[in-house]
Structure 1
Amino acid sequence: MSILITGSTGKFGKNSIEFLLSKGVDPKSIIALVREESKGKQFQEKGLNVRIGDYTNEESLVKAFQGIEKLLFISSSDIENRIDHHNNVIKAAKQVGTIKHLVYTSFFRKEEVEKSGNSSIGFVGKPHIIAEDLIEKSGINYTILQNILYTDFLTEFFFGEKVLENGIFFPAGNGIGNYAIRKDMAEAAVNILLDENQQKHLNKKYIISNEESSSFEDAAKILSEISGKTLSYTSPDVATFENTLTGFGVPPVYIQLSVAFGLAIQNNEFNTLKTDLSTLLNRKPTTLKQFLFETYKKQ
């Protein structure tokens, strides 16, 4: 059974490949899709097959997907061109005709927020909504994973490099979210691909979120415990936040994205009582406290 991983050089892709290997999958049946041959060496060293393909080039994807039976389709990280990228992947997958199961990493949206069209991160969700619709109409058996905001994003983008010195400065208000870590999501995707009872996952949508909900105030308390000193959480108004980051030389695009996600968190758009993650993992997902301790205790 051949399994191709798109976006294999990204963090989600690498995590997925590591889980496939750790669960005993023959490396030769795992195909890593890369844009350039040089990026495939890291996978060839592990015994994997490598194919060249680019989300911008449908023909390259058709060639890369030949003979593939299972496809882990990791969404494009290029927000501006994501719709075209996704369209190319789905069209190529349909054209080859061999893919029996496509697993797609989508994005969690609250139904009521999606219908209102008032989300500050609507531009993030829209390409996924379009992709989901195309996948459902493609005739390919699918599983759609509506992934909540990564817990990893809090530490990678929102907290700042000096959070253990300065505390958290981010416009998330009192919002709470059921954030889940990227590795747990990747493991869930792999578990679906390897499940002996594939039938139960076909043409399903799963909500991938945590059982626990957390606020940035909760995060500050955990970080205080880790650092051994009291760290505060400050939620500035948007103008103050933008001016502060501009003063530090942060690129405008990054500031705009941060504000958009901050407002979405304030609006509790990542807070949900629904989740399939625990069932797919056969265990409880990693908590915010576990993740923060693992992340910052190394420093």
Structure 2
Amino acid sequence: MKKILVTGATGELGSTVIKTLLKTGTAENISVLTRKEESKIEFEKRGLNAFIGQYSDVQSLEKAMENLDTVLLISSGDQGDRMQEHKNVIDTAKKKGVQNIAYTSRSLKDKNTLVNKLMMEHFLTEDYIKESGLKYVIFRNALYMDVLPLFVGKNVFEKGILQPARNGKVAYVLKAEQAEAIANVLMNENFENQTFNFTGSDAYSFYDVATALTELTGKQVNYKSIEVEPFKKIMLENGVPESMVKKIVDFNLDIKNGQEEMVTNELQQYLGRKPKNLKEGLKILFNL
């Protein structure tokens, strides 16, 4: 088995990758990077090699990458300098003699017409990996279905769905299934500079989301597509911070423009089964 470092180990994606790796691999071959001492202790109890560190701390990365052949770089959040953090991980992997790097990118139709410029950093990271000379696997993941409760809001069954996405569609996938497929690739595939588009088997609009929620609950849920400016006004009046409103609008505009609608069977191939469809996923996410 490869000796693998999983970054972002305490997040849902990282923790499910680790759980899947442990099904067929041994804990001593898995290293994890975490920011918290209590998490480090918990990982060590499970037999994993755990290191305190973060992407901005090169010394901690160097320590975590001793005697490894593979690093899974789970993309950083957008709170700091994400590109520099990613470069730190890639540069350190190269310096420490790591052979393989995997990266969690995004499955989007055309990087040149994106509204959400934060997504461009994924493609810039892909380019930096390719220039590094490391053998790579890039996972272009669809938008996680897990974000839907946040998009539609707590009062979806009373007020319905209001978004500026028109009839744009998304090939949603549950985060846990993305992680499981990623782990299967890490364990079983040679790194030969592949790029996988891990998407759901179908793409869905917010009209489809509303219909699925109606069928699951018996409560009528409607979707209304609204123009951007009135949508912004409503969000701000509801107390949503302006920076968050911008992110939500940018995601919606990319959905409207077809950026998220790509469908492939690559996830199914590495998951070993068909991923859960919209209705199955919503049942889990809303505890229905």
What TM-score do you get using the length of structure 1 for normalisation?
A: 0.91
Q: CA deviation at 1:125?
A: 2.4
Give the match for residue 174 of structure 2.
181
| Aligned counterparts of 1:207 and 1:280: Cα–Cα separation in 2 | 11
SS at match of 1:132: helix
Is residue 119 of structure 2 the alignment partner of residue 128 of structure 1?
no
Give the match for residue 186 of structure 2.
193
SS at match of 2:24: coil
Give the match for residue 9 of structure 1.
10
| Aligned counterparts of 2:262 and 2:8: Cα–Cα separation in 1 | 28
Give the match for residue 147 of structure 1.
141
| Aligned counterparts of 2:181 and 2:247: Cα–Cα separation in 1 | 27
Is residue 77 of structure 2 the alignment partner of residue 77 of structure 1?
yes
Does the aligned pair in 1 maintain the 2:139–2:197 contact within 8 Å?
yes
* Stretch moving more, 34-43 or 214-223: 34-43
Q: CA deviation at 1:275?
A: 4.3
Describe how 1:35-114 pairs up with structure 2 within 5 A: 35-78=35-78, 80-97=80-97, 99-110=98-109, 113-114=110-111
Does the aligned pair in 2 maintain the 1:6–1:32 contact within 8 Å?
yes
| Aligned counterparts of 1:217 and 1:185: Cα–Cα separation in 2 | 24
Does the aligned pair in 2 maintain the 1:150–1:181 contact within 8 Å?
yes
Q: CA deviation at 1:164?
A: 2.6
Give the match for residue 264 of structure 1.
254
Give the match for residue 161 of structure 1.
154
| Aligned counterparts of 1:88 and 1:9: Cα–Cα separation in 2 | 20
Does the aligned pair in 2 maintain the 1:206–1:275 contact within 8 Å?
no
Could you tell me which runs of 5 or more consecutive residues in structure 2 were left unpaired when the two chains were aligned.
none
Task: Write the deviation string for residues 177-224 of structure 1: whole angstroms up to 9, x where unpaired.
Answer: 2121211111111001111xx33x421111111121111101101111
Which of 274, 293, 297 is the matching residue for 2:287? 297
Count of aligned pairs: 287
Does the aligned pair in 2 maintain the 1:53–1:61 contact within 8 Å?
yes
Q: CA deviation at 1:151?
A: 1.2
Counterpart of 2:250, as a letter, is A
SS at match of 2:114: coil
SS at match of 1:214: coil
Describe how 1:18-33 pairs up with structure 2 within 5 A: 18-21=19-22, 23-33=23-33
| Aligned counterparts of 1:13 and 1:163: Cα–Cα separation in 2 | 30
| Aligned counterparts of 2:228 and 2:168: Cα–Cα separation in 1 | 15
| Aligned counterparts of 2:158 and 2:30: Cα–Cα separation in 1 | 43
Counterpart of 2:153, as a letter, is G
Task: Write the deviation string for residues 272-293 of structure 1: whole angstroms up to 9, x where unpaired.
Answer: 1434111111221111111001
Q: CA deviation at 1:271?
A: 0.8
| Aligned counterparts of 1:126 and 1:293: Cα–Cα separation in 2 | 32
Does the aligned pair in 1 maintain the 2:173–2:276 contact within 8 Å?
yes
Counterpart of 2:172, as a letter, is Y
Counterpart of 2:158, as a letter, is E
Which of 131, 134, 146 is the matching residue for 1:137? 131
| Aligned counterparts of 1:37 and 1:85: Cα–Cα separation in 2 | 21
Counterpart of 2:115, as a letter, is S
Give the match for residue 214 of structure 1.
204
Moved over 6 A (4+): none
What TM-score do you get using the length of structure 2 for normalisation?
A: 0.94
SS at match of 2:87: helix
Does the aligned pair in 2 maintain the 1:106–1:146 contact within 8 Å?
yes
| Aligned counterparts of 2:42 and 2:157: Cα–Cα separation in 1 | 34
Could you say what the CA RMSD is over the residues aligned between the two structures, in angstroms? 1.6
Taking only the aligned residue pairs, the percentage that are identical comes to: 35
Is residue 245 of structure 2 the alignment partner of residue 255 of structure 1?
yes
Counterpart of 1:14, as a letter, is S
